[in-house]
């Protein structure tokens, strides 16, 4: 079995597709008695460093995709539901999760286990910061509910815990009013410093940054606005329905599938950096990066955000996600070369107080939380 990264391959001895928390608990208890065989939950398997792979028991969470209840400010869903399925259930009530990932075909359990950084995370924090309650199965096989006010330690160890401290069975998530239309404004920045500074200055509902061959591009998206504010009046403006905007990656993904790039290995290197120190590290990294380091369809993202109260992420409060979304395309650098470049990036990030994303699982919870 492989994941989206395609860097690690592991063959599970058993794949189980549970349909309830009770079934997860039964698998967890039997794995614990069977010589402590490893058990790993898998959502869509879109992680890139083998986090959802195991030689032991793979728990295929796509057997649990129900949306149980949508109220005026929350939704309760099975952890194997994707953000697309959550949005499909919420939008008829003109509601949406405050933070959506760029790509909707990721499970709720998978991104809450990573943290879930989206274009609205500069306002609302990560997806993990917008959870009201979790129902989970502990490593001992107990089914428990936890929230900021009940069993807080468990709640904090599950969010951004990479599945190592229990399996999320269902999640109650915050909802907010959804817009009908959006104005998407693109502007060019002269430097990385400006790209990061503008992301902190501009007032918009959704903000992202990319390094392209043409330069540094900032995208600021406004919900239900009739015209861009003066700071964005000279930009390229496009009006879209909210659904088109939320699902904006779909055409690109279809193209990548057609070209064969989607199936190639993706040794992604992503770090979360303190905003005040991010620019020199990013500049230095990009000075040495060639197109072959990123691959034919690789993407470089720079996104300023505030993680919110998610202790396991260990991110600075004013943070920048620097993501080198590499594809090991034919004729470009090998997976080994790209992975080695990622290791250097993690070391440089750590030296200035940064952390890898998704987070490395932490065994010592007492020290982490």
Q: What is the DSSP string of 148-184?
A: TTBSHHHHHHHTTSTTTT-EEEEEEEE-EEPPSEEEE
For ligand FAD, which is the closer residue by CB, 163 or 228?
A: 163
Residues in CB range of 205: below 8 A, 6 or more apart: 120, 123, 179, 182, 221, 222, 223
For ligand FAD, which is the closer residue by CB, 43 or 228?
A: 43
Characterize the bridge pairing of strands 181-189 and 206-212: unpaired
- For ligand FAD, the binding residue among 18, 28, 39, 47 (CB under 6 A) is 47
Backbone angles phi, psi at 145, to 5 degrees: -105, 145
58 sits near ligand FAD (criterion: CB under 6 A): no
265 sits near ligand FAD (criterion: CB under 6 A): no
We find the least distance from the C-beta atom of residue 358 to ligand FAD, in angstroms, to be 6
Q: Which stretch binds ligand FAD (CB under 6 A): 29-37, 112-120, 147-155, 274-282?
A: 112-120
103 sits near ligand FAD (criterion: CB under 6 A): yes
319 sits near ligand FAD (criterion: CB under 6 A): no
Q: Is the peptide bond before 2 cis (omega within 30 degrees of 0)?
A: no
We find the least distance from the C-beta atom of residue 47 to ligand FAD, in angstroms, to be 3
210 sits near ligand FAD (criterion: CB under 6 A): no
323 sits near ligand FAD (criterion: CB under 6 A): no
Contacts 24+ apart (CB under 8 A), 281-289: 281/322, 281/348, 281/349, 281/352, 281/354, 282/192, 282/320, 282/322, 283/192, 284/348, 285/322, 285/324, 285/345, 285/348, 286/192, 286/211, 289/324, 289/341
For ligand FAD, which is the closer residue by CB, 53 or 187?
A: 53
- For ligand FAD, the binding residue among 12, 18, 45, 209 (CB under 6 A) is 45
111 sits near ligand FAD (criterion: CB under 6 A): yes
Q: What is the DSSP string of 64-107?
A: ---EEEE-SSEEEEETTSBHHHHHHHHGGGTEE-S---SSS-SB
61 sits near ligand FAD (criterion: CB under 6 A): yes
- For ligand FAD, the binding residue among 31, 58, 70, 79 (CB under 6 A) is 79
Number of C-beta neighbours around residue 29 at 10 A: 14
217 sits near ligand FAD (criterion: CB under 6 A): no
Closest CA to 225 of 244, 245, 205, 207: 205
Measured distance CA(160)–CA(114) in Å, rounded: 4
102 sits near ligand FAD (criterion: CB under 6 A): yes
For ligand FAD, the binding residues in 337-366 under the rule CB under 6 A are 358
For ligand FAD, which is the closer residue by CB, 90 or 228?
A: 90
- For ligand FAD, the binding residue among 7, 25, 27, 40 (CB under 6 A) is 40
101 sits near ligand FAD (criterion: CB under 6 A): yes
21 sits near ligand FAD (criterion: CB under 6 A): no
Considering Cα of 105, then 107, then 111, then 117, what sign does the dihedral take? positive
- For ligand FAD, the binding residue among 31, 87, 129, 167 (CB under 6 A) is 167
Binding residues (CB under 6 A) for ligand FAD: these are 3-4, 40-47, 51-52, 61, 79, 101-103, 106-107, 109-111, 113-114, 116-118, 162-163, 167-168, 358
């Amino acid at each position: 079995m492989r994941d989206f990264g395609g860097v690690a391959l592991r063959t599970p001895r058993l794949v189980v597709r549970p349909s309830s928390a009770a079934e997860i608990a039964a698998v967890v208890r039997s794995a614990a008695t069977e010589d402590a065989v490893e058990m790993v939950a898998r959502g869509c398997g879109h992680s890139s460093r083998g986090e959802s792979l195991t030689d032991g028991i793979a728990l295929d969470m796509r057997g649990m995709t129900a949306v149980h209840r949508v109220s005026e400010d929350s939704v309760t869903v099975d952890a194997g539901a994707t953000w697309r399925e959550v949005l499909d259930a919420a939008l008829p009530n003109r509601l949406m999760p405050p933070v959506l990932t760029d790509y909707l075909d990721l499970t709720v359990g998978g991104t809450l286990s990573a943290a879930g950084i989206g274009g609205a995370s500069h306002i609302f924090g990560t997806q993990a910061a917008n959870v009201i309650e979790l129902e989970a199965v502990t490593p001992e096989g107990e089914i428990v509910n936890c929230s900021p006010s009940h069993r807080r330690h468990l709640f904090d160890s599950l969010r951004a815990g990479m599945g190592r401290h229990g399996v999320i069975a269902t999640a109650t998530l915050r909802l907010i009013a959804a817009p009908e239309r959006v104005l998407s404004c693109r502007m060019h920045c002269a430097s990385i410093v400006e790209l990061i500074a503008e992301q902190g200055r501009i007032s918009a509902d959704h903000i992202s940054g990319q390094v392209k061959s043409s330069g540094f591009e900032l995208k600021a998206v406004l919900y239900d606005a009739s015209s861009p504010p003066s700071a964005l009046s000279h930009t390229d403006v496009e009006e879209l329905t909210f659904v088109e905007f939320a699902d904006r990656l779909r055409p690109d993904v279809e193209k990548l599938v057609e070209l064969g790039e989607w199936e190639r290995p993706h040794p992604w290197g992503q770090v979360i950096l303190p905003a005040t120190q991010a620019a020199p590290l990013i500049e230095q990294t990009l000075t040495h990066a060639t197109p072959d380091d990123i691959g034919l369809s690789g993407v470089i993202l720079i996104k300023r955000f505030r993680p919110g109260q998610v202790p396991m992420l260990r991110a600075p409060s004013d943070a920048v996600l620097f993501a080198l979304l590499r594809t090991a395309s034919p004729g470009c650098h090998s997976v080994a070369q790209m992975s080695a470049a990622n290791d250097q990036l993690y070391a440089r990030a750590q030296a200035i107080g940064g952390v890898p994303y998704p987070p490395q699982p932490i065994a010592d919870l007492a020290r982490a939380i």
